[in-house]
Chains A and B, each alone.
Chain A
Protein backbone atom coordinates (compact mmCIF):
# COMPACT_ATOMS: atom_id res chain seq x y z
CA UNK A 1 0.00 0.00 0.00
CA UNK A 2 1.18 3.52 -0.78
CA UNK A 3 2.98 4.92 2.25
CA UNK A 4 1.39 8.37 1.90
CA UNK A 5 -2.04 6.73 1.98
CA UNK A 6 -1.10 5.03 5.27
CA UNK A 7 0.02 8.38 6.71
CA UNK A 8 -3.33 9.97 5.73
CA UNK A 9 -5.09 7.00 7.36
CA UNK A 10 -3.12 7.58 10.58
CA UNK A 11 -4.29 11.22 10.48
CA UNK A 12 -7.93 10.06 10.36
CA UNK A 13 -7.31 7.62 13.22
CA UNK A 14 -5.56 10.48 15.06
CA UNK A 15 -8.55 12.76 14.54
CA UNK A 16 -10.96 10.11 15.88
CA UNK A 17 -8.75 9.51 18.93
CA UNK A 18 -8.38 13.26 19.54
CA UNK A 19 -12.14 13.92 19.33
CA UNK A 20 -13.36 10.99 21.45
CA UNK A 21 -10.47 10.53 23.88
CA UNK A 22 -7.68 13.13 24.09
CA UNK A 23 -10.05 16.13 24.10
CA UNK A 24 -12.24 14.52 26.78
CA UNK A 25 -9.69 13.17 29.24
CA UNK A 26 -7.42 16.10 29.93
CA UNK A 27 -5.16 15.54 32.95
CA UNK A 28 -4.82 18.83 34.90
CA UNK A 29 -6.76 20.44 32.05
CA UNK A 30 -3.93 19.82 29.58
CA UNK A 31 -5.12 18.99 26.07
CA UNK A 32 -2.65 17.56 23.54
CA UNK A 33 -2.81 18.00 19.78
CA UNK A 34 -2.41 14.50 18.41
CA UNK A 35 -2.64 15.63 14.77
CA UNK A 36 0.22 18.08 15.26
CA UNK A 37 2.30 15.28 16.79
CA UNK A 38 1.52 12.94 13.86
CA UNK A 39 2.35 15.68 11.36
CA UNK A 40 5.71 16.56 12.96
CA UNK A 41 6.74 12.92 13.39
CA UNK A 42 5.82 12.10 9.76
CA UNK A 43 7.74 15.17 8.54
CA UNK A 44 10.95 14.38 10.37
CA UNK A 45 10.85 10.81 9.10
CA UNK A 46 9.77 11.50 5.51
CA UNK A 47 11.10 14.95 4.63
CA UNK A 48 9.58 18.29 3.63
CA UNK A 49 7.47 17.23 0.60
CA UNK A 50 5.52 14.45 2.34
CA UNK A 51 5.50 16.63 5.48
CA UNK A 52 3.82 19.46 3.63
CA UNK A 53 1.18 17.14 2.16
CA UNK A 54 0.44 15.54 5.52
CA UNK A 55 0.54 18.95 7.26
CA UNK A 56 -2.04 20.43 4.91
CA UNK A 57 -4.33 17.37 5.01
CA UNK A 58 -4.07 17.16 8.83
CA UNK A 59 -4.76 20.88 9.20
CA UNK A 60 -7.75 20.64 6.85
CA UNK A 61 -9.22 17.68 8.76
CA UNK A 62 -8.87 19.58 12.03
CA UNK A 63 -10.36 22.75 10.57
CA UNK A 64 -13.36 20.86 9.16
CA UNK A 65 -14.08 19.55 12.66
CA UNK A 66 -13.92 23.09 14.00
CA UNK A 67 -16.51 24.33 11.51
CA UNK A 68 -14.16 25.96 8.98
CA UNK A 69 -12.68 24.51 5.81
CA UNK A 70 -9.44 26.42 5.35
CA UNK A 71 -8.51 28.12 8.57
CA UNK A 72 -5.75 28.55 11.14
CA UNK A 73 -4.76 24.87 11.31
CA UNK A 74 -4.25 24.48 7.55
CA UNK A 75 -2.35 27.74 7.31
CA UNK A 76 0.02 26.99 10.20
CA UNK A 77 0.41 23.21 10.08
CA UNK A 78 1.31 23.01 6.37
CA UNK A 79 4.40 25.30 6.57
CA UNK A 80 5.30 23.98 10.04
CA UNK A 81 5.42 20.41 8.69
CA UNK A 82 7.40 21.60 5.65
CA UNK A 83 10.02 23.29 7.88
CA UNK A 84 10.15 20.28 10.27
CA UNK A 85 10.78 18.11 7.21
CA UNK A 86 14.18 19.75 6.67
CA UNK A 87 15.39 17.95 9.82
CA UNK A 88 15.16 14.71 7.81
CA UNK A 89 18.58 13.76 6.53
CA UNK A 90 20.47 15.69 9.21
CA UNK A 91 19.88 13.40 12.16
CA UNK A 92 20.31 9.73 12.93
CA UNK A 93 16.86 8.17 12.67
CA UNK A 94 17.49 5.74 15.55
CA UNK A 95 17.81 8.70 17.91
CA UNK A 96 14.50 8.83 19.74
CA UNK A 97 15.20 12.27 21.24
CA UNK A 98 14.74 14.12 17.96
CA UNK A 99 10.95 13.64 17.85
CA UNK A 100 10.14 15.05 21.32
CA UNK A 101 12.49 18.03 20.92
CA UNK A 102 11.13 18.89 17.45
CA UNK A 103 7.52 18.38 18.59
CA UNK A 104 8.02 20.53 21.69
CA UNK A 105 9.33 23.51 19.71
CA UNK A 106 6.87 23.01 16.82
CA UNK A 107 4.01 22.97 19.37
CA UNK A 108 5.14 26.24 20.95
CA UNK A 109 5.41 27.90 17.51
CA UNK A 110 2.01 26.52 16.48
CA UNK A 111 0.20 27.62 19.67
CA UNK A 112 1.73 31.12 19.56
CA UNK A 113 0.88 31.56 15.86
CA UNK A 114 -2.67 30.32 16.52
CA UNK A 115 -3.09 33.10 19.10
CA UNK A 116 -1.57 35.77 16.88
CA UNK A 117 -3.76 34.80 13.91
CA UNK A 118 -6.98 34.72 15.95
CA UNK A 119 -8.76 38.04 16.30
CA UNK A 120 -10.64 36.77 19.39
CA UNK A 121 -7.48 35.76 21.25
CA UNK A 122 -4.76 38.18 20.22
CA UNK A 123 -5.83 41.10 22.44
CA UNK A 124 -7.93 39.28 25.03
CA UNK A 125 -5.57 36.83 26.72
CA UNK A 126 -2.89 37.19 29.34
CA UNK A 127 0.17 35.97 27.43
CA UNK A 128 2.34 35.04 30.40
CA UNK A 129 -0.42 33.02 32.11
CA UNK A 130 -1.35 31.34 28.80
CA UNK A 131 2.25 30.37 28.04
CA UNK A 132 2.82 29.05 31.55
CA UNK A 133 -0.47 27.23 32.11
CA UNK A 134 -1.58 26.23 28.61
CA UNK A 135 1.17 26.33 25.99
CA UNK A 136 4.14 24.82 27.85
CA UNK A 137 2.20 21.93 29.49
CA UNK A 138 0.46 21.08 26.21
CA UNK A 139 3.77 21.22 24.30
CA UNK A 140 5.28 18.88 26.89
CA UNK A 141 2.33 16.47 26.59
CA UNK A 142 2.73 16.55 22.78
CA UNK A 143 6.45 15.82 23.17
CA UNK A 144 5.72 12.74 25.34
CA UNK A 145 3.14 11.47 22.83
CA UNK A 146 5.61 12.03 19.99
CA UNK A 147 8.10 9.56 21.52
CA UNK A 148 5.48 6.78 21.42
CA UNK A 149 4.32 7.65 17.89
CA UNK A 150 7.90 8.02 16.62
CA UNK A 151 8.85 4.58 17.95
CA UNK A 152 5.73 3.00 16.36
CA UNK A 153 6.38 4.69 12.99
CA UNK A 154 10.12 4.02 13.07
CA UNK A 155 9.66 0.31 13.89
CA UNK A 156 6.87 -0.06 11.30
CA UNK A 157 8.34 1.83 8.35
CA UNK A 158 12.11 1.99 8.95
CA UNK A 159 12.98 -1.14 10.86
CA UNK A 160 16.69 -1.76 10.31
CA UNK A 161 17.29 1.53 8.51
CA UNK A 162 19.64 3.22 10.90
CA UNK A 163 21.43 5.49 8.45
CA UNK A 164 21.35 9.21 8.03
CA UNK A 165 18.75 10.59 5.63
CA UNK A 166 17.19 8.46 2.91
Chain B
Protein backbone atom coordinates (compact mmCIF):
# COMPACT_ATOMS: atom_id res chain seq x y z
CA UNK B 1 0.00 0.00 0.00
CA UNK B 2 2.84 2.32 0.98
CA UNK B 3 4.63 1.45 -2.26
CA UNK B 4 1.52 2.24 -4.29
CA UNK B 5 1.26 5.68 -2.67
CA UNK B 6 4.93 6.31 -3.39
CA UNK B 7 4.53 5.32 -7.05
CA UNK B 8 1.55 7.69 -7.44
CA UNK B 9 3.48 10.50 -5.76
CA UNK B 10 6.55 10.00 -7.97
CA UNK B 11 4.35 9.77 -11.10
CA UNK B 12 2.67 13.09 -10.24
CA UNK B 13 6.08 14.70 -9.70
CA UNK B 14 7.45 13.36 -13.00
CA UNK B 15 4.32 14.53 -14.86
CA UNK B 16 4.58 18.00 -13.27
CA UNK B 17 8.27 18.24 -14.18
CA UNK B 18 7.52 17.21 -17.76
CA UNK B 19 4.87 19.95 -18.00
CA UNK B 20 7.22 22.53 -16.48
CA UNK B 21 10.05 21.38 -18.78
CA UNK B 22 7.77 21.66 -21.83
CA UNK B 23 6.71 25.19 -20.78
CA UNK B 24 10.39 26.15 -20.56
CA UNK B 25 11.65 24.48 -23.73
CA UNK B 26 8.79 25.62 -25.96
CA UNK B 27 8.88 29.08 -24.37
CA UNK B 28 5.15 29.06 -23.58
CA UNK B 29 3.90 32.05 -21.61
CA UNK B 30 0.75 31.53 -19.60
CA UNK B 31 -0.78 34.96 -18.74
CA UNK B 32 -2.05 33.76 -15.35
CA UNK B 33 1.50 32.71 -14.40
CA UNK B 34 2.82 36.15 -15.29
CA UNK B 35 0.53 37.77 -12.70
CA UNK B 36 1.86 35.40 -10.02
CA UNK B 37 5.44 36.10 -11.13
CA UNK B 38 4.97 39.88 -11.01
CA UNK B 39 3.15 39.62 -7.68
CA UNK B 40 5.99 37.68 -6.03
CA UNK B 41 8.64 39.94 -7.59
CA UNK B 42 6.89 43.14 -6.48
CA UNK B 43 6.39 41.68 -3.01
CA UNK B 44 10.03 40.68 -2.54
CA UNK B 45 11.90 43.52 -4.25
CA UNK B 46 11.01 46.16 -1.57
CA UNK B 47 12.43 43.75 1.06
CA UNK B 48 15.66 43.51 -0.94
CA UNK B 49 15.76 47.30 -1.37
CA UNK B 50 15.23 47.84 2.37
CA UNK B 51 18.03 45.46 3.41
CA UNK B 52 20.31 46.70 0.64
CA UNK B 53 19.87 50.33 1.83
CA UNK B 54 20.39 49.29 5.43
CA UNK B 55 23.52 47.29 4.58
CA UNK B 56 25.17 49.89 2.32
CA UNK B 57 24.31 52.80 4.64
CA UNK B 58 25.93 50.94 7.55
CA UNK B 59 28.99 50.05 5.46
CA UNK B 60 29.41 53.64 4.17
CA UNK B 61 28.86 55.11 7.63
CA UNK B 62 31.60 52.96 9.16
CA UNK B 63 33.89 53.52 6.20
CA UNK B 64 33.43 57.26 6.77
CA UNK B 65 34.02 57.00 10.50
CA UNK B 66 37.11 54.80 10.14
CA UNK B 67 38.68 56.87 7.34
CA UNK B 68 37.72 60.35 8.52
CA UNK B 69 41.13 61.88 7.61
CA UNK B 70 40.97 60.44 4.12
CA UNK B 71 37.38 61.68 3.67
CA UNK B 72 38.33 65.22 4.76
CA UNK B 73 41.31 65.22 2.41
CA UNK B 74 39.11 64.01 -0.44
CA UNK B 75 36.51 66.66 0.40
CA UNK B 76 39.13 69.40 0.14
CA UNK B 77 40.38 68.09 -3.20
CA UNK B 78 36.80 67.81 -4.52
CA UNK B 79 36.08 71.40 -3.45
CA UNK B 80 39.13 72.54 -5.42
CA UNK B 81 37.96 70.46 -8.37
CA UNK B 82 34.48 72.02 -8.20
CA UNK B 83 35.98 75.52 -8.32
CA UNK B 84 38.00 74.58 -11.45
CA UNK B 85 34.98 72.94 -13.05
CA UNK B 86 32.79 75.99 -12.37
CA UNK B 87 35.28 78.13 -14.30
CA UNK B 88 35.39 75.59 -17.12
CA UNK B 89 31.60 75.43 -17.14
CA UNK B 90 31.40 79.19 -17.69
CA UNK B 91 33.79 78.86 -20.63
CA UNK B 92 31.72 75.97 -22.07
CA UNK B 93 28.50 77.98 -21.65
CA UNK B 94 29.93 80.61 -23.98
CA UNK B 95 30.92 77.86 -26.48
CA UNK B 96 27.38 76.45 -26.22
CA UNK B 97 25.85 79.80 -27.07
CA UNK B 98 28.30 80.24 -29.94
CA UNK B 99 27.53 76.72 -31.19
CA UNK B 100 23.79 77.39 -31.07
CA UNK B 101 24.22 80.67 -32.95
CA UNK B 102 26.35 79.02 -35.67
CA UNK B 103 23.92 76.07 -35.94
CA UNK B 104 21.04 78.54 -36.39
CA UNK B 105 23.05 80.33 -39.06
CA UNK B 106 23.66 77.06 -40.93
CA UNK B 107 20.07 75.78 -40.24
CA UNK B 108 21.41 72.56 -38.65
CA UNK B 109 19.03 70.19 -36.88
CA UNK B 110 19.32 70.72 -33.13
CA UNK B 111 21.11 67.99 -31.22
CA UNK B 112 18.83 66.83 -28.44
CA UNK B 113 20.51 65.04 -25.52
CA UNK B 114 18.81 61.92 -24.11
CA UNK B 115 16.41 62.09 -21.21
CA UNK B 116 17.93 59.98 -18.46
CA UNK B 117 16.75 58.72 -15.12
CA UNK B 118 19.23 58.01 -12.32
CA UNK B 119 18.92 54.71 -10.44
CA UNK B 120 20.74 52.97 -7.61
CA UNK B 121 21.86 49.37 -7.82
CA UNK B 122 20.22 47.42 -4.97
CA UNK B 123 21.35 43.89 -5.80
CA UNK B 124 23.22 41.57 -8.11
CA UNK B 125 22.11 38.47 -9.99
CA UNK B 126 21.62 35.36 -7.83
CA UNK B 127 23.08 33.14 -10.56
CA UNK B 128 26.54 32.09 -11.63
CA UNK B 129 25.70 32.23 -15.33
CA UNK B 130 23.78 35.46 -15.72
CA UNK B 131 25.21 38.92 -15.12
CA UNK B 132 22.35 41.13 -14.06
CA UNK B 133 21.80 43.88 -11.53
CA UNK B 134 18.62 45.02 -9.82
CA UNK B 135 17.92 48.78 -9.69
CA UNK B 136 15.46 50.75 -7.55
CA UNK B 137 13.38 52.12 -10.47
CA UNK B 138 10.47 50.36 -12.13
CA UNK B 139 7.38 50.87 -14.27
CA UNK B 140 6.07 53.47 -11.76
CA UNK B 141 9.06 55.65 -12.72
CA UNK B 142 8.52 55.18 -16.45
CA UNK B 143 11.02 52.37 -17.01
CA UNK B 144 10.20 50.05 -19.92
CA UNK B 145 11.81 46.85 -21.18
CA UNK B 146 14.77 47.20 -23.60
CA UNK B 147 15.70 50.73 -22.49
CA UNK B 148 19.49 51.28 -22.76
CA UNK B 149 21.41 51.88 -19.53
CA UNK B 150 24.61 53.93 -19.23
CA UNK B 151 27.02 54.75 -16.43
CA UNK B 152 27.67 58.26 -15.13
CA UNK B 153 30.65 58.59 -17.49
CA UNK B 154 28.32 57.85 -20.41
CA UNK B 155 29.52 54.37 -21.38
CA UNK B 156 27.09 51.55 -22.12
CA UNK B 157 26.24 49.37 -19.10
CA UNK B 158 23.43 47.18 -20.45
CA UNK B 159 19.72 47.17 -21.15
CA UNK B 160 16.54 46.77 -19.10
CA UNK B 161 15.58 43.12 -19.12
CA UNK B 162 12.71 42.85 -16.65
CA UNK B 163 10.48 45.54 -15.15
CA UNK B 164 8.67 45.35 -11.82
CA UNK B 165 6.57 48.15 -10.34
CA UNK B 166 9.34 49.73 -8.28
CA UNK B 167 12.48 47.89 -9.39
CA UNK B 168 13.92 46.46 -12.60
CA UNK B 169 16.65 44.14 -13.74
CA UNK B 170 19.45 45.17 -16.10
CA UNK B 171 21.17 42.65 -18.33
CA UNK B 172 24.79 43.80 -18.16
CA UNK B 173 27.04 44.27 -21.18
CA UNK B 174 29.35 41.40 -20.12
CA UNK B 175 26.49 38.87 -19.86
CA UNK B 176 27.02 35.95 -22.30
CA UNK B 177 23.53 36.65 -23.75
CA UNK B 178 24.26 40.33 -24.40
CA UNK B 179 24.88 41.43 -27.98
CA UNK B 180 25.30 44.94 -29.37
CA UNK B 181 26.51 46.33 -32.70
CA UNK B 182 29.84 48.15 -32.36
CA UNK B 183 31.73 50.52 -34.64
CA UNK B 184 35.28 51.90 -34.51
CA UNK B 185 35.05 55.57 -33.55
CA UNK B 186 38.06 56.62 -35.71
CA UNK B 187 36.71 58.69 -38.63
CA UNK B 188 38.96 57.03 -41.23
CA UNK B 189 37.97 53.48 -40.26
CA UNK B 190 34.29 53.00 -39.24
CA UNK B 191 34.79 49.22 -39.02
CA UNK B 192 31.74 47.40 -37.70
CA UNK B 193 31.32 44.19 -35.69
CA UNK B 194 29.19 42.49 -33.06
CA UNK B 195 30.18 42.93 -29.41
CA UNK B 196 29.34 39.96 -27.15
CA UNK B 197 29.71 39.36 -23.42
CA UNK B 198 31.76 36.47 -22.05
CA UNK B 199 31.11 34.07 -19.21
CA UNK B 200 32.85 35.02 -15.97
CA UNK B 201 34.82 37.92 -17.42
CA UNK B 202 33.58 41.34 -16.37
CA UNK B 203 36.40 43.28 -18.00
CA UNK B 204 36.67 41.99 -21.56
CA UNK B 205 34.01 41.61 -24.27
CA UNK B 206 34.62 40.03 -27.66
CA UNK B 207 33.89 41.93 -30.88
CA UNK B 208 33.58 39.47 -33.76
CA UNK B 209 32.21 39.29 -37.31
CA UNK B 210 34.79 41.94 -38.26
CA UNK B 211 35.72 41.77 -41.94
CA UNK B 212 39.15 40.11 -42.54
CA UNK B 213 40.62 43.25 -44.15
CA UNK B 214 38.98 45.78 -41.80
CA UNK B 215 41.00 48.69 -40.48
CA UNK B 216 41.06 48.10 -36.72
CA UNK B 217 43.95 48.71 -34.36
CA UNK B 218 44.82 48.21 -30.72
CA UNK B 219 43.70 51.28 -28.77
CA UNK B 220 40.72 52.05 -31.05
CA UNK B 221 37.59 53.18 -29.21
CA UNK B 222 34.47 51.10 -29.93
CA UNK B 223 31.08 52.82 -29.71
CA UNK B 224 27.53 51.56 -30.39
CA UNK B 225 26.80 51.52 -34.11
CA UNK B 226 23.11 52.43 -33.79
CA UNK B 227 22.20 50.13 -36.70
CA UNK B 228 19.77 48.01 -34.71
CA UNK B 229 17.49 50.75 -33.31
CA UNK B 230 17.86 49.14 -29.87
CA UNK B 231 20.65 51.48 -28.78
CA UNK B 232 21.44 55.09 -29.63
CA UNK B 233 24.46 55.65 -31.85
CA UNK B 234 27.79 56.60 -30.31
CA UNK B 235 27.61 55.27 -26.74
CA UNK B 236 31.16 54.29 -25.74
CA UNK B 237 31.66 50.57 -25.10
CA UNK B 238 35.38 50.01 -24.66
CA UNK B 239 38.87 50.04 -26.11
CA UNK B 240 40.44 47.44 -28.42
CA UNK B 241 43.05 45.49 -26.45
CA UNK B 242 43.94 42.65 -28.80
CA UNK B 243 43.05 41.64 -32.37
CA UNK B 244 42.96 38.01 -33.50
CA UNK B 245 42.20 36.20 -36.70
CA UNK B 246 38.87 34.33 -36.58
CA UNK B 247 37.11 31.66 -38.69
CA UNK B 248 40.41 30.39 -40.18
CA UNK B 249 41.33 33.88 -41.40
CA UNK B 250 37.95 34.67 -42.96
CA UNK B 251 37.20 37.31 -40.32
CA UNK B 252 38.76 39.02 -37.31
CA UNK B 253 37.79 39.27 -33.67
CA UNK B 254 38.93 41.79 -31.08
CA UNK B 255 39.13 41.80 -27.30
CA UNK B 256 37.42 44.93 -26.02
CA UNK B 257 38.34 46.28 -22.59
CA UNK B 258 35.11 47.70 -21.22
CA UNK B 259 34.93 51.30 -19.97
CA UNK B 260 32.34 50.56 -17.30
CA UNK B 261 33.58 48.89 -14.16
CA UNK B 262 30.63 46.56 -13.73
CA UNK B 263 31.66 44.62 -10.67
CA UNK B 264 31.45 47.64 -8.41
CA UNK B 265 28.71 49.54 -10.20
CA UNK B 266 26.50 51.46 -7.75
CA UNK B 267 24.57 53.99 -9.80
CA UNK B 268 23.37 54.01 -13.39
CA UNK B 269 21.40 56.22 -15.79
CA UNK B 270 18.51 54.76 -17.78
CA UNK B 271 17.90 56.41 -21.18
CA UNK B 272 14.13 56.85 -21.11
CA UNK B 273 13.36 58.67 -24.34
CA UNK B 274 15.11 56.56 -26.94
Contact = CB atoms under 8 A, between A and B. Distances in A.
B161 interface: yes
Given A19-B123, A23-B123, A33-B128, A70 B20 contact: yes
B129 A23 contact: no
A150 interface: no
B20 A74 contact: yes
Given A19-B48, A79-B17, A121-B199, A138 B128 contact: yes
B128 A64 contact: no
Given A20-B52, A74-B20, A65 B176 contact: no
B129 A121 contact: yes
Contact of B162 (A67, A114, A134): A67
B68 interface: no
A43 to B, nearest CB: 14
A120 B199 CA distance: 10
Interface residues of B, number: 38
Contact of B127 (A62, A75, A120): A62
A75 B17 contact: yes
Given A70-B24, A75-B17, A121-B176, A16 B48 contact: yes
A134 B128 contact: yes
A47 interface: no
A61 interface: yes
Interface in A1-40: 12, 15-16, 18-21, 23-24, 29, 31, 33-35
Contact of A65 (B24, B126, B171): B126
A48 to B, nearest CB: 9
A82 B129 CA distance: 23
Contacts of A114: 128-129
B126 A120 contact: no
A95 interface: no
Interface string B183-216: 0000000000000000110000000000000000
B129 A118 contact: yes
Contacts, number: 107
B40 to A, nearest CB: 6
Contacts of A162: none
Contacts of A78: 17, 20
Contact of B128 (A21, A69, A71, A111): A111
B41 to A, nearest CB: 5
B33 A69 contact: yes
Interface in B133-176: 134, 161-162, 169, 171, 176
Contact of B13 (A16, A66, A82): A82
Contacts of A118: 129
A82 B13 CA distance: 10
A69 B55 contact: no
Nearest to A14: B126
B36 interface: yes
Contacts of A75: 17, 20-21, 24
A19 B56 CA distance: 13
B24 A66 contact: no
Interface in A100-135: 111, 114-115, 118, 120-121, 124-125, 130, 133-134
16 contacts: A16-B47, A16-B48, A20-B123, A23-B126, A35-B126, A64-B40, A65-B169, A67-B132, A69-B36, A70-B20, A70-B24, A75-B17, A78-B17, A118-B129, A120-B177, A130-B199
Give 8 closest A-B pairs by Cβ, nearest first. A19-B123, A67-B162, A23-B124, A69-B37, A18-B126, A20-B52, A120-B177, A67-B161
Given A19-B126, A67-B162, 9 more contacts: A18-B126, A19-B123, A20-B55, A21-B55, A65-B41, A115-B129, A124-B199, A130-B200, A134-B128
